[in-house]
Amino acid sequence: MTTHDAGAARPPRTSVEQHRADVAALLAPLVARRPVERLPLAHALDRVLGADVSAPVAVPAFRNSQMDGFAVRTADVVPGRALPVVGEIAAGSTAAPLAPGTAVRIMTGAPVPDGADAVVPVEETSVGRFGADVTEVVLGAVPAPGAFVREAGSDVRAGDVVLPAGTRLAATRLAALAACGIAHVEVVVPLRVSVVSTGAELVAPGERLGPGQVYDANGTALAAAVRAAGGTVAFEGRSGDDPRVLAGVLADAAALGDLVLTSGGVSQGAYEVVKDVLGPDADAASLPFALRDTSVEFRTVAMQPGGPQGLGRFRGTPILTFPGNPVSAQVSFVVFVRELVAAAAGRVADGARPRRRLDHAVTSPPGRRQMLRGALSVGGGVRVVGGTGSHLVAAMARADVLIDVPADVEALDEGAEVEVWEL
């Protein structure tokens, strides 16, 4: 490993960890508030419980058969001696008490009659399989009391906590709630995020491209990333380079969302419209309605891609501004926002990032923390995919992780251990 001393010749840059801390402080009230809402199970997939859920009934609610077979009294069973079969019990039916010295055909899930204390699977009897009417059955062995009988409450007792608050509702957990007769749950309300793409060159996917135009990938990427992290997208908008138009779009975004994310317009070019509206040189006379309760700090973070960043409030609503290059915008979300959106939705993360060994040597420019796109290998290592350009969206699509190369590291050997951010 080769290191260097990042000198002071360059303008001061904010460290990644400092910017993460500042973003976390900005969003702390949103993460901490945790309101809840009541939803039907059909709409609760992947949401997080805001309260414990207790079972209103026992599961199973009654003694029932675990197998297709015969319900018997174990005291009546003599190997090789026939028992008369006096009836049949199907799932969903009721059962009369079992008379001594008899057996009854029983189906999986059917109630076990009073008096019976075991079920013998049909394949373990002289019958072998159900077909024509059966009048008697011979058992080869005496079953153990309770064999293939599911007792009432053996899975869940009435009043038991089925799932505690903080549980993320996967399909299996929704099934457990449904089995208890629960139709609605209290879940944490996720963060409502507004996404705004900027740039006169942007065209919505599916439209015809004109000269000099490109498709807006950032809107799709950031909206999808918000949803994947557990948030909801309250607003999706796009603006060209007219500050007045952008101010109006941002006003709508701030009114509908708890947080606004923008992409583009924050670098050092001639048409940095986000800076024109939110920066220190914004024209307060022409944009007075937009600038009320607005304070945004623009900075350069010592990270590549994703150096130009901004954070603050627009009309009282927290706002984060990302660079416009697609990879830069996606990396910015992963590094600075994803964990907070997840936490606001009630998802718990320990913040630890896995470590992998490099499949090959890597070099890195000095002074900036590199977030290289990486693909995991079969042997558990990781390799860089694509180049370092922040416009290479195809390479980003092939990546499984971001390889985190510290700012003071210029070279890593094959086999070196690196921290990765999972995508």
pLDDT band for position 133 (cuts 50, 70, 90) = confident
CA distances from 9 to 5, 32, 51, 197 (A): 11, 40, 54, 33
Euclidean distance between CA atoms 174 and 66, whole angstroms: 23
Contact 311, 296 (CB under 8 A): yes
Tokens of 43: 């709409």
**Strand duo 36-40 + 184-188: pairing:** antiparallel
Residue 10, helix vs strand vs coil:
coil
Number of Cβ within 10 Å of residue 281's Cβ equals 7
pLDDT band for position 11 (cuts 50, 70, 90) = low
Share of the chain above pLDDT 90, in %: 84
**In what helix (H) or strand (E) does residue 382 lie, and over which residues does it extend?**
strand 382-384
Q: What is the mean pLDDT of residues 111-135?
A: 90
Q: What is the mean pLDDT of residues 97-111?
A: 97
Q: What is the mean pLDDT of residues 86-105?
A: 96
Burial 346-378 (b: 16+ CB within 10 A, else e): bbeeeeeeeebebbeebebeebbbbbbbbbbee
CA distances from 90 to 104, 106, 124 (A): 11, 6, 19
Euclidean distance between CA atoms 60 and 109, whole angstroms: 9
Euclidean distance between CA atoms 72 and 64, whole angstroms: 13
**Does residue 350 surpass a pLDDT of 90?**
no
**Does residue 389 surpass a pLDDT of 70?**
no
pLDDT at residue number 130 = 83
pLDDT band for position 51 (cuts 50, 70, 90) = very high
Number of Cβ within 10 Å of residue 203's Cβ equals 15
pLDDT band for position 4 (cuts 50, 70, 90) = very low
pLDDT band for position 240 (cuts 50, 70, 90) = very high
Between 279 and 106, the higher pLDDT residue: 106
Q: What is the mean pLDDT of residues 139-151?
A: 97
Residues in the chain: 423
Contact 353, 346 (CB under 8 A): no
Between 387 and 93, the higher pLDDT residue: 93
pLDDT band for position 33 (cuts 50, 70, 90) = confident
Q: Give the dihedral of Cα atoms 289, 290, 295, 298; nearest 10 deg.
A: -150
Specify the CATH number for 355-422; select among 2.60.40.740, 3.40.50.980, 2.40.240.10, 2.40.340.10: 2.40.340.10
Q: What is the largest CA-CA distance in the chain?
A: 101
Share of the chain above pLDDT 70, in %: 94
End-to-end CA distance of the chain: 26
DSSP secondary structure of 135-189: -EEEBSSPPPTTTTEE-TTSSB-TT-EEE-TT-B--HHHHHHHHHTT--EEEEEP
pLDDT at residue number 211 = 96
The per-type count for the chain, helices as H runs and strands as E runs, is: 9, 28
Euclidean distance between CA atoms 98 and 110, whole angstroms: 14
Contact 74, 143 (CB under 8 A): yes
Q: What is the mean pLDDT of residues 366-372?
A: 93
**In what helix (H) or strand (E) does residue 332 lie, and over which residues does it extend?**
helix 326-332
pLDDT band for position 294 (cuts 50, 70, 90) = confident
pLDDT at residue number 281 = 75
One-letter amino acid for residue 258 of the chain: D
Tokens of 375: 């693909």
Give which of 266, 231, 232, 261 is closest to 249, Cα–Cα.
261
Q: Where are the domains of the chain?
A: 2-35+189-344, 37-59+154-188, 64-150, 355-422
Query: Any bridge partners for residue 139, and if so which?
Result: 125
Phi, psi for residue 215 in degrees, rounded to 5: -75, 145
Q: What is the mean pLDDT of residues 267-283?
A: 83
**Does residue 8 surpass a pLDDT of 60?**
no
Which CATH number describes the domain made up of 37-59+154-188? 3.90.105.10
Tokens of 176: 């457990």
Q: Which CATH class is domain 64-150?
A: mainly beta
Which CATH number describes the domain made up of 2-35+189-344? 3.40.980.10
